[in-house]
Structure 1
Amino acid sequence: MRFFSEKYHESICLVRKEKPVDVCWESQKNPDRRYKGCNRIDLHQGEIPAFGYVSGDNLKPVGVYVVVRGRKVPDGVYAYDAVGKSKVPDVVGQLVRVGGREEMKKIVAAFPDKDFAEEAPLIYIFTGLLERSVWHYREAAYAQVMQDVGACAASVMLHSKSKGAKVFALGGFVDDEIAVTLNLPVTEIPLAALAVFPEYSELAFDSVDEGVGETAYSNRSEMETEIGYDPARYPALFMRQNRAENITDLTKCIRIRRLSAQAYPGEEFPLTPAKYDAASYLGKLEDIEMSSRNQHPFRKVGFDLDDFSSMLRWLEVGQINLFGAGLLKIWVISFDVMFVYPGVYRYVPVRKSVFMQSAILNIKKFAKCHAVPEVAENTAFALLLTADLNESCNLLGERAYRYMNLNAGYIAQSMKLSGQMLRKETRCERFFYHDELKKLCEIPEGESIVAEILVGKA
């Protein structure tokens, strides 16, 4: 069976000399997010991540809502207003109260694990603000927004963990119920959620995924054989993709658990120990301030083996399979890393090793696989995040595509923060020629490239 996610992903892959697809999207006015008449609570430094999150071309298309229970602020549902200010110094944003206990109950009821959600002191809900990205990324905006949401969720997760909290991904929920309860405009869609518990919470130990991150909720059983949404109502392909991913019936929402991946064939190169352990890494995060997007080409500087190993190992400080149930595969393309032969590798986190798949790649040919070759020149190493879309959707339904993009966003955020810590530069590059890059790196035929991350020294 061919899934709609495969069709959508193929439609957004960059092809040389192909005219961009016109986006026939609903003509909507920009929503009013000034929250007039709502109560506001100031947020100060240290209460939100200082390091921000990775965003495609810095468009910041992510909305954040918080369900608060039993904290210093009154119970309720709050929207985060990043530009909200008061006369109090050092304010870095505001929480705006947009709902009370009734809205809290409706949001909790939208999750399969209602008891778990009801006990969570904090539930973060992340939404995609499509109007900020469609003009730039066109049909690919949806995939990019999902990755930005994954990066924002990673930022919240790592910040919370640095404070000693336990954080769990909640990828399964009734989308329309969340959207209606939060009174979201048409151009804003709920995409992910996190539950945050105190460090010594007993319920958190018996969580929905035991903290492993290898489970996900599938909408496979409520899928139709063919997506038949009215093109007049959903003229944009990405909106039909979103509808295909939605969970509508919790009785058909199945929780899937996968075993960790086994070692991959090929010559094994064990990674060296990380420069800092998890506790030290989290402690250093608060000293990081996310730099602005750097457009300068990489400098031709070799990469230290310990830095290379640390960046890969630190992916597990949060949850490397935060949303995707282990379906996303990590390919490492090495060009200039000390003691690592140039070539294509598969990274297997459970083995703390990379496994060589093919020999030397020509960096010039690699650069030419990008719409702007200069962005990839002098790359020390790159990550290609791939997935077998048919296999993934057969397991998790069309929602698998969302999980994989969210997970790609988590990995991008982790790599960015690790790079900042080590004074390296990382870039998420969307404008590459999919089929050419896949052929050059000898990625298996059934795999699709979901995201690319370039690492070097700027």
Structure 2
Amino acid sequence: MSDVHPSIAQHYHQRTKYDPETINQRGRALDFSQQPVPFKTYKVGTEIDLKPYLEGEPVTDPQMRQRQRLSHLLYHSYGVTAVVPYPNNPFYMRAAPSAGGLYPAEIYLIAREDAVLPTGLYNYQVQTHSLWRFWDNQVWSALEEACLWHPALASTQVVLVITAVFWRSAWRYEDRAYRRIFLDSGHLLGNIELAAAMNDYRPHLMGGFVDEALNQLLYLDEDQEGAIAAIALADLLEINQNLQPTPTALPSETDTSYPEILDGELLHYCHEASEVYALDAAYPKDRLILCAEDKYNFPFCLKVPTTSEPIQWGDSLTELATTIRGRRSTRRFTGDAITLPDLSALLDFTYHPEHYQDQGLDPQPDTFDLSLIQTFVAVSDVTGLEAGCYYYAAQAKELRQIRFKNFRRELHYLCLQQDLGRDAAAVVFHTADLGVAIATYGDRAYRYLHMDAGYLGQRLNLAAIRLQLGVSGIAGFFDDHVNEVLGIPTDEAVLYITTLGQPPAS
């Protein structure tokens, strides 16, 4: 048995780090004939086709209008936005990005009595943009129990549940897939929040629930798939569903006594160890909105203001919808500069949703705990900004320089020799102190941190596309070398990287 330190989440993070001396030993040839299919199918049930509700002007019939809004919400969250016609196996690109195009997340919908849909359980069939009703009984009371009587469930009628099909991602990324699964799910949560605002919904995020109970309610095979987030979908056109912000996170236990775990078993062990088991756990009645303080104020550093005018998303957020549908991960940068105003606008949209209330976006969207996430920016070529590594002080709205150097060559190396790191104009690093996070939320913090990092990454993605910049997320990097080379404090574990730059001319 291990001693009492570290926790399983910390152990997992250490075990799944990439290191230059060992990374080639981890690789294995992929058999693409065995790649998991990124769609679920059911043999029994009924289909509700949502495609007819995507086209045309808003309808006047109340029930039809509700289905139209729901159709648009699901499509702009995770729908198929392009099809690449490979022979015998077309590739379906979705509204939310996914590492390697593996799409490990699934969306389920639970409808209460008198909801827009008949009572029951549904799976969102991405490929056909439809809902498959595979259970027709009322399960809302069981849902409330599984979600520990979250206050939003008392007033809402529809819940979305995000699950992870582990092998879809682990097939390629092995144990480190656990990180990517939650980053991908964070991308999806970011889309759901914005798509909800476009369609007069307000999502209330729930990260704390009794895993086994919610998995059983959805008839999941827990060896293959597990619930990772739930969202009570409040209809803002119904006055009784205009709720105050509600709590989002509950802690799990912290496992500090675990056996030796073999490679290939670490992902599942970590997931099970971070489950919530106690049916007597309870959410607080109200959500406390914390204003996260800027963690670092390095002495004598250069401080560059990043105050920016909000990005304009068009009347009724039409440009936001267009951006979501047109978002693509950039495969190559030209190496040319971006401007400081553009970088400032990207950071403003990502970290200051309160600046977008006048455009119809939520000024206080749900996340798990962004106070735990720190942001550093490695600048290679930003017009009006000296090259180097900066800490982004979100509350002060300024970049604080901690290293004075152009890091292009090092970024190429740190990002596993991907040209995106070398040719990017700026590279954003999201980090967290794992010890502090686990002390607050137990091992479940690892889920929350990566979903929050993915959420921030998706906001960066969309802002960059709107500004006609290139953008791509990177979840594979030499973990410890990032801190050493860029001067990021060693307590900060790197969660996610977003590269920004100029795309090739189309």
What is aligned with 2:123? 79
Matches of 1:386 and 1:260, distance apart in 2 = 18
What is aligned with 2:258? 227
Deviations 1:61-88 (A, max 9, x none): 110001223433212221101123xxxx
Deviations 1:8-27 (A, max 9, x none): 111111111311189xxxx9
- Name the stretch that deviates more: 320-329 or 362-371: 320-329
Output aligned runs, 1:307-456, within 5 Å: 307-315=342-350, 316-317=352-353, 322-456=367-501
- Asked if structure 2 preserves the Cα contact closer than 8 Å seen for 1:258 and 1:325, the reply is no
Instruction: Using structure 1 for the length normalisation, give the TM-score.
Output: 0.87
* SS of 2:177 mapped into structure 1: helix
Tell me which amino acid in the other structure corresponds to 2:234: F
Is structure 2 residue 232 aligned with structure 1 residue 188? no
* SS of 1:78 mapped into structure 2: strand
Shift of the 226–416 alpha-carbon distance from structure 1 to 2, 3 Å rule, reads same
Tell me which amino acid in the other structure corresponds to 1:58: G
What is aligned with 1:165? 201
Q: By how many angstroms is 1:206 displaced?
A: 2.8
Deviations 1:91-122 (A, max 9, x none): xx110112334433222211133442242232
Matches of 1:433 and 1:184, distance apart in 2 = 35
- Asked if structure 2 preserves the Cα contact closer than 8 Å seen for 1:63 and 1:129, the reply is yes
Q: By how many angstroms is 1:309 displaced?
A: 1.2
What is aligned with 1:56? 99
* SS of 1:354 mapped into structure 2: strand
What is aligned with 1:287? 322
Matches of 1:216 and 1:341, distance apart in 2 = 39
Is structure 2 residue 159 aligned with structure 1 residue 123? yes
Matches of 1:223 and 1:207, distance apart in 2 = 27
* SS of 1:426 mapped into structure 2: strand
What is aligned with 1:89? none
* SS of 1:382 mapped into structure 2: strand
Matches of 1:250 and 1:321, distance apart in 2 = 24
What is aligned with 1:260? 291
Shift of the 117–429 alpha-carbon distance from structure 1 to 2, 3 Å rule, reads same
Shift of the 356–202 alpha-carbon distance from structure 1 to 2, 3 Å rule, reads farther
- Asked if structure 2 preserves the Cα contact closer than 8 Å seen for 1:320 and 1:410, the reply is no
Matches of 2:457 and 2:498, distance apart in 1 = 7
Q: By how many angstroms is 1:275 displaced?
A: 4.2
What is aligned with 1:243? 272
What is aligned with 2:84? none
Identity %: 21
Shift of the 421–292 alpha-carbon distance from structure 1 to 2, 3 Å rule, reads closer
Matches of 2:326 and 2:102, distance apart in 1 = 14
Is structure 2 residue 110 aligned with structure 1 residue 106? no
Matches of 1:269 and 1:452, distance apart in 2 = 22
- Asked if structure 2 preserves the Cα contact closer than 8 Å seen for 1:150 and 1:407, the reply is yes
Structure 2: gaps spanning 5 or more residues: 29-33, 55-71, 82-94, 354-361
Instruction: Using structure 2 for the length normalisation, give the TM-score.
Output: 0.79
Shift of the 103–202 alpha-carbon distance from structure 1 to 2, 3 Å rule, reads closer
Structure 1: gaps spanning 5 or more residues: 85-92, 210-214
Please provide the CA RMSD for this pair: 2.9
* SS of 1:407 mapped into structure 2: helix
Count of residue pairs the alignment pairs up: 437
What is aligned with 1:217? 250
- Asked if structure 1 preserves the Cα contact closer than 8 Å seen for 2:163 and 2:228, the reply is yes
Shift of the 180–206 alpha-carbon distance from structure 1 to 2, 3 Å rule, reads same
- Name the stretch that deviates more: 136-145 or 354-363: 354-363
Q: By how many angstroms is 1:56 displaced?
A: 0.4
Matches of 2:320 and 2:106, distance apart in 1 = 22
Matches of 2:366 and 2:11, distance apart in 1 = 24
- Name the stretch that deviates more: 156-165 or 94-103: 94-103
- Asked if structure 2 preserves the Cα contact closer than 8 Å seen for 1:53 and 1:152, the reply is yes
* SS of 1:251 mapped into structure 2: coil
Tell me which amino acid in the other structure corresponds to 2:230: A
Deviations 1:24-61 (A, max 9, x none): xxx9x989932122011011223520661011011111
What is aligned with 1:207? 245
Q: By how many angstroms is 1:192 displaced?
A: 1.0
